[in-house]
Structure 1
């Protein structure tokens, strides 16, 4: 798979490390969707150690799969990269709760535990990757506030632009579907984020946005946290 050429994705990913690191190293918005890039052999996105990356997209778009596949255990400083995914919390609770108990009963507890984990990760100063459905803009704003409190730390958005039909198929494959009304709310939220990125408007507090579709996500091999911090010079991949 590493040797497979993905037209329209590979070359764009070669410059995406600089683009994703924010305006000092490149453009604040990078579009890696099929047909919009220029091509690369070893796709890799690089951010500064200590930065926060939020991965957003429709439920079933492949966010958890992408995070588990490309996020390293440690950053360029040798410190852990923390991945924050509510599904990890849910699965942990499911292991010790009775199987007959509906998720709706303990969902508030899962969400509280998830946000507590996120708070601890942000306070730690470690590099952080956050799984986010995109419907709750306050999560990004919260992370952005923590970044501004720590000089040189930045918030980046990796935005999965996947057609609703594909996302629904992804939900079926993972065996966990989202109610139609909730899915419609996610569609509206992600649609606004994608439209804003295409128009060059970054969500509040974000230093950069990287747009991905399924082809670009499949071509991506790694997300690294090994670039110089904001304000210091850095090169491209």
Structure 2
């Protein structure tokens, strides 16, 4: 709606005459101000860097002490992105798994000691959070309770939790699993697909997932272009 200010009508120049148009104009102006404020908040909270044709940013920066969660399908490139861009701030469950695999006999299936490896991962994550420094955390998408824990811990410290979400199609993610020589079962992959699709839909609808202060959506090209995830001192 466009309002043109052309001066007071002739009738309004009479003493004691009330111009009923002014309150309406003020109400419209206030509504437009609120809508601009909501638009600015949405722009800060949701960054969609998909389909940028190589023009996506090379760095993402967050406040000191914040928690950044990197989520997406298995094989989407989460660990690769964190290894390249996290600058020593990463807590990746894949690293914990590889350390356990290196210590145990190769014939032991991972499913046998997976609960212990996960406990070790969460213990390491807890230690990292207790330092109060910014941390970047690997998330498989299906463990919503982990994001809830991270969000509560961040709030207690006066910090915030942010989500970086890799929106990669299932075929590309499957190819990524083959490239690394490690895949997940069809049942587990279907669970991941549902969980990640739910997160993407929530963000695309303009609603932040519970506990998130911001969401950044990346496709594979944007993830490949990203070189640094950093925290302001």
Q: Distance in 2 between matches of 1:60 and 1:177?
A: 8
Query: What is the TM-score normalised by the length of structure 2?
Result: 0.79
Q: Please, what is the CA RMSD of the aligned residues? A: 1.8
Give 2:34's aligned residue: none
Unaligned ranges ≥5, structure 1: 1-22, 74-80, 228-237
Do the aligned residues in 2 keep the contact of 1:53 with 1:155 (CA within 8 Å)?
A: yes
Unaligned ranges ≥5, structure 2: 1-39
> Relative to total residues, which structure has the larger helix share, 1 or 2?
2
Partner deviation per Cα, 1:86-116 (whole Å, 9 max, x = no partner):
1111111111111111111111100111111
Structure 2 CA distance for partners of 1:141 and 1:85, relative to 1, 3 Å: same
Q: How does 1:143-154 map to 2 (within 5 A)?
A: 143-151=150-158, 153-154=159-160
Query: What is the TM-score normalised by the length of structure 1?
Result: 0.78
Give 1:184's aligned residue: 190
Matched, 1:39 2:51: no
2:72 to 33, 57, 61: 57
> Which structure has the larger Rg?
2
Q: Distance in 2 between matches of 1:199 and 1:61?
A: 22
Paired residue total: 194
Matched, 1:85 2:92: yes
Moved over 4 A (4+): 23-26
Paired residue secondary structure (1:200): coil
Shift of 1:39: 2.9
Give 1:203's aligned residue: 209
Mean Cα displacement is larger for which, 112-121 or 167-176?
A: 112-121
